[in-house]
Amino acid sequence: MRDLFGAELRWFQHIEETARRVFGRHGYGEIRTPILEELEVFKRSVGESSDIVNKEMYQFTDKGGREVVMRPENTAGVVRAAIQHKLLTSNDPVLFYYIGQQFRYERMQTGRYRQFWQIGAESFGVASPESEAESLLMLHSFLTELGLKSLVFSINSVGTPESRPAFHAAFRAFFAERADQFCEDCHRRIETNPLRVLDCKNERCQAALAGHPVITDHLDEASAQHHARLKALLAELGIPYVEDPRLVRGLDYYTRTAFEVLSSDLGAQSALLGGGRYDGLVKQLGGPEVPAFGWAIGLDRLAMVLQQVRGEAPHQAPALLIPLGDRAATEALKLARILWDAGVPLQLETRGGALKKAMAFANRAGIQTVLILGDGELEAGTVTVKHMATGEQETWALGEAAARLAPPTA
């Protein structure tokens, strides 16, 4: 776990602002759920066979004797909230996005934290491939507006619970022929959820999967048509995609579409995020039978990628107002108040002391505009303005400062 500040936090803030802007224009509204949820929410949704439930959850008994967890992901909490507040009782689509902290007791590695941030979007009430294409288009717009260019959507269909038994039988037979090549976790997964074997990160297991049965060869007709339609829509929208028969994601609740977004902005192509369709989850958690589709992206990893690809986050340092002398210090507070009320980003120098020291701070902080208010300026009713990038200096009337520094209105 870690603290966020400075340049890294500015990237977080920029990502969050971009998310709210892009998702809002698609009609998505924000939802905020508690960090603590009942353990049963995740056992019933994520699945007891998943690594999240088996190995990674921060789980404890509270003072009331309730089994609770610090949320390891947010989809289940959003579904729980939608059911609890009866938000899914009509036939209308319900569109949510969230921004928040998640917690998993994972193995320590670069760029992965046990407290991490996610942005996600969830669409309820529409089962069509068109709804998936719209969500993926929104995601594509979000990532490209952040400045990522080398994006490819990796997609697969994991079918439905009704169509999977045929694949499970073929896959278990394949597994049995080379069982000694798979890890202990995969031997557990083959009994509880064979799809999870495909998601194993063990290199030996991945090698043993060569030539495995492909789940898209065992889809029911409706799932096959759904998958074909989504691919056609992505092609029409110009969103690059590849099919990956091993892509199943790490959660048990997916049906039909599963996807990841791959980026080569850092060189080797790697997954930035993932998601998919989970039509049975609402009913599984005690709600009505409502189709759903969603995805989530880790802010920590996304901020790291953007920092390496683009450097500093877009950031406008505030202006700096430097008073010289006791009288100027009083008048500077009055002027600063006028500027703040006008929406001007402004930092006030309150330490007193030499101008040279304050100007050195302005240089270190990347401040572009410095206002200087001394006895001479007070007598003349002016303020001296220094533009740090060019070194130019000019004089403004005190009454003009707010209008000249006010940010442009949208």
Q: What confidence tens digit (pLDDT) does each residue in 210-221 have?
A: 988 888 898 999
Buried b (16+ CB within 10 A) or exposed e, 365-396: eebbbbbbbbeebbeeebbbbbebeeeeeeeb
CA 377 to CA 372: how far, in whole Å?
A: 8
3-state secondary structure of 259: strand
In this predicted structure, the answer to whether residue 315 has a pLDDT above a threshold of 80 is no
Q: What dihedral do alpha carbons 90, 93, 99, 101 form, nearest 10°? A: 50
Contacts of 147 (CB under 8 A, 6+ apart): 306, 309, 310
Nearest residue to 8 (alpha-carbon basis) of 233, 308, 261? 308
Cα-based distances in Å from 101 to 70, 237, 395 = 9, 32, 48
CA 305 to CA 307: how far, in whole Å?
A: 5
In this predicted structure, the answer to whether residue 48 has a pLDDT above a threshold of 70 is no
**Dmax (CA) of the chain:** 93
Domains of the chain: 6-163+219-310 (3.30.930.10), 319-405 (3.40.50.800)
CA 164 to CA 185: how far, in whole Å?
A: 21
What confidence score (pLDDT) does residue 400 get?
92
| Residue 162 or 80, more confident | 80
CB 226 within 8 A of CB 256: yes
Element (H, E) at 261: strand 255-263
Buried b (16+ CB within 10 A) or exposed e, 44-74: bbbbeebbbbeebbbeeeeeeeeebbbbbbb
Angle at 242 between CA 238 and CA 247, to 5 degrees: 135
Report the predicted TM-score, pTM, of the whole model to 2 decimal places.
0.84
What confidence score (pLDDT) does residue 269 get?
59
CA 303 to CA 294: how far, in whole Å?
A: 21
In this predicted structure, the answer to whether residue 51 has a pLDDT above a threshold of 60 is no
What confidence score (pLDDT) does residue 219 get?
92
Element (H, E) at 370: strand 369-373
Element (H, E) at 140: helix 129-145
Average pLDDT on 296-314 reads 87
Average pLDDT on 224-233 reads 96
* DSSP secondary structure letters along 24-83: HHTT-EE----SEEEHHHHHHHT-TTSHIIIII-EEEE-TTS-EEEE-S-SHHHHHHHHH
CB atoms within 10 A of CB 82: 24
What confidence score (pLDDT) does residue 196 get?
83
Average pLDDT on 142-170 reads 90
Sign of the torsion angle spanned by Cα atoms 192, 201, 195, 207:
negative
- Give the relative orientation of helices 6-25 and 129-145 as an angle to the nearest 10 degrees: 140
334-390: pLDDT as tens digits = 999 999 999 999 999 999 878 999 999 999 988 999 999 999 999 999 999 999 999
52-68: pLDDT as tens digits = 666 788 999 999 999 99
pLDDT band for 86, please (50, 70, 90 cuts).
Answer: very high
